[in-house]
Amino acid sequence: MSLRKQIIYRILISSLCMLIFGGALALWQARISIDKEVDASIHLALQLITLGIDNTPIFQQGDELSHFSALQQTRHLSIQLQKPDGQLIHFAGDDQPSHPEKSPPAWFIKLVQGDYPTVEHQLKTKEGKVLTLLIHAQPLDEITEVWQETVTFFGSILLLTLLTFIAVNLAFNKSLKSIAVIVNALRGIENGHYHQPLPPFAIKEFDSIAKAINHLMIELDKTRQENRALTQHSLAIQEEERQHLAQELHDELGQSLTAIKVMAVTAPHEKADITKISSAIVETCNHLMGVVRSMMQELHPLVLTDLGLKATLDDLVQHWSERHPAFQLTITCDAKIDLIDKPIAIQVFRVIQECLTNVVRHANARHVNISLNLSNHTATNLLLLTVQDDGQGCDLTTLPRGFGLLGMKERVKSLNGEIVFSSHLGQGMTISAIIPLS
């Protein structure tokens, strides 16, 4: 169900509940009001009788009309005088409403009209005859007034409800248009359109959402560009590695195999020095084995597969120390590091390898410390990696993100981890990574 329909249905249900509750309350108040009005009219009539007639209890029978003239203006009552012979003389009240066209419906009269008993008052004439004054309620005019007030009240409520529906629909039309614009922008993001920012909205909440989506577009576009550049860089590196391997195979393996073939061809001759040829073949084979081992080490460290990550890192430290004796390289490694999964181990090894490459190329550092530990203080086991150098450092806010840092970031992200680069000018750089272990 759409948001508009949900709101309309809820307003409708709330309005119906208000009408039902208001109707019941109005009927109850109308019944109480009519009862009070009728009681007041009856008490007023009795007071008039007490003040105007009971003070002169003996009067001529023919003068009763003049004595009861004050009762003719009494509202909501039917007043009659009953003579001893049973004849009834009507003084006030009317059984028919003054405006029949405005008479309330029968169900309303039944709901608000109470049970009003007839009041009798005895009077005595000079001749000694007893007259009976009959007073009973005639609340139809009061009920008509209450009905008209009730109709006006409920008409006002219905009008207010209608105005509320109109106001809500107008407000929701504006909001739904804003939502439609936001949804279209999200669909554009889904299709990779990151260069169509949302306009500002007059509504504060929608404007906040628009700003967040625009920021998301910027970040997604930046990430897409970084990934595209990283992919192109990876393809370029892959092509360079292939070219390097082809060159190595051509220069080293090709030439060495050609030399071995030539020596093998000349060996059967009578004047050939078999001992010298054999020694040359052995030397050439040893050189080929070294070249192949070096190529295999560049492609994938076999020590990592055979002996584990700790031994591979020790071999890496020895290799880098031999190639770059100018700086001191130390490593602290947890003894249980070899228990982590192989996919995680190879990625961690590549991150450390890239860190050392950056240190040699850019840092001009004298000391490099590598720390690799396992943490099980939380519900999830974590691998903590820290690489710290004392090089020249840099300002990360102005540093262009090269492919080295981006590659490390993507490697750690592929393991659902987090990596943080911390550096200041003249204070070296610290690279910290936290990788969850399954």
The pLDDT of residue 58:
44
Binned at pLDDT 50, 70 and 90, residue 212 comes out as very high
Q: What CA–CA distances, in Å, run from 71 to 120, 190, 427?
A: 15, 87, 109
Distant-in-sequence, close-in-space partners of 340: CB < 8 Å, separation ≥ 6:
309, 348, 374, 383, 437
Per residue in 103-118, pLDDT tens? 778 887 777 777 666 7
Q: Which two tokens stand for residue 118?
A: 């007839």
The pLDDT of residue 96:
52
Q: What is the DSSP string of 343-403?
A: HHHHHHHHHHHHHHHHIIIII--SEEEEEEEEE-SSSS-EEEEEEEE-S----TTTS---H
Q: Which amino acid, 30?
A: A
Is residue 383 a contact partner of residue 434, using CB atoms and an 8 Å limit? yes
Residue 27, pLDDT above cutoff 90: no
Mean pLDDT over 42-69 rounds to 56
Residue 60, pLDDT above cutoff 50: no
Per residue in 335-393, pLDDT tens? 888 888 888 888 888 888 888 888 888 878 888 899 998 887 666 788 999 999 888 88
Q: What is the DSSP string of 293-346?
A: HHHHHHH--HHHHHT-HHHHHHHHHHHHHHH-TTSEEEEEE-GGGGGS-HHHHH
The pLDDT of residue 50:
64
The better pLDDT of the pair 99, 211 is held by: 211
The pLDDT of residue 404:
74
The better pLDDT of the pair 90, 313 is held by: 313
Mean pLDDT over 274-286 rounds to 87
The pLDDT of residue 386:
93
The pLDDT of residue 337:
86
| Alpha helix ranges (H) inside 84-139 | 106-112
Is residue 329 a contact partner of residue 320, using CB atoms and an 8 Å limit? yes
Binned at pLDDT 50, 70 and 90, residue 61 comes out as very low
Residue 411, pLDDT above cutoff 70: yes
DSSP structural state of residue 77:
E
Measured in degrees and rounded to the nearest 5, phi and psi for residue 377 equal -80, -15
Q: Which amino acid, 220?
A: L
Q: Which amino acid, 242?
A: R
The pLDDT of residue 339:
85
Helix then strand count (H, E) for the chain reads 11, 10
Sheet hosting strand 88-92, strand order edge to edge: 58-59, 119-125, 130-137, 77-82, 88-92
Q: Which two tokens stand for residue 105?
A: 């419906």
Residue 74, pLDDT above cutoff 60: no
79: number of Cβ within 10 Å: 22
Averaged pLDDT of the chain: 78
Distant-in-sequence, close-in-space partners of 366: CB < 8 Å, separation ≥ 6:
326, 327, 328, 390
Q: Which residues pair with 374 in a beta bridge?
A: 383
Kindly state the helix (H) or strand (E) to which residue 208 belongs, with its residue range: helix 204-248
Q: Do strands 382-389 and 367-375 pair parallel, antiparallel, or not at all (unpaired)?
A: antiparallel
Q: Which two tokens stand for residue 166?
A: 């109109």
Binned at pLDDT 50, 70 and 90, residue 433 comes out as very high
Mean pLDDT over 190-210 rounds to 85
Residue 65, pLDDT above cutoff 50: no
Residue 298, pLDDT above cutoff 90: no
Is residue 359 a contact partner of residue 389, using CB atoms and an 8 Å limit? yes
Distant-in-sequence, close-in-space partners of 98: CB < 8 Å, separation ≥ 6:
141
The pLDDT of residue 379:
64
Mean pLDDT over 221-238 rounds to 79
Mean pLDDT over 120-149 rounds to 73
DSSP structural state of residue 253:
I
The better pLDDT of the pair 360, 41 is held by: 360
Mean pLDDT over 178-200 rounds to 85
| Domains in the chain: ranges and CATH | 3-167 (no CATH), 304-436 (3.30.565.10)
Q: Do strands 367-375 and 328-333 pair parallel, antiparallel, or not at all (unpaired)?
A: parallel
Residue 136, pLDDT above cutoff 80: no
Residue 432, pLDDT above cutoff 90: yes
CA distance 366 to 389: 8
The pLDDT of residue 387:
92
Is residue 284 a contact partner of residue 260, using CB atoms and an 8 Å limit? yes
Integer-rounded Cα Rg, in Å, for the chain is 53
Q: What is the DSSP string of 144-157?
A: HHHHHHHHHHHHHH
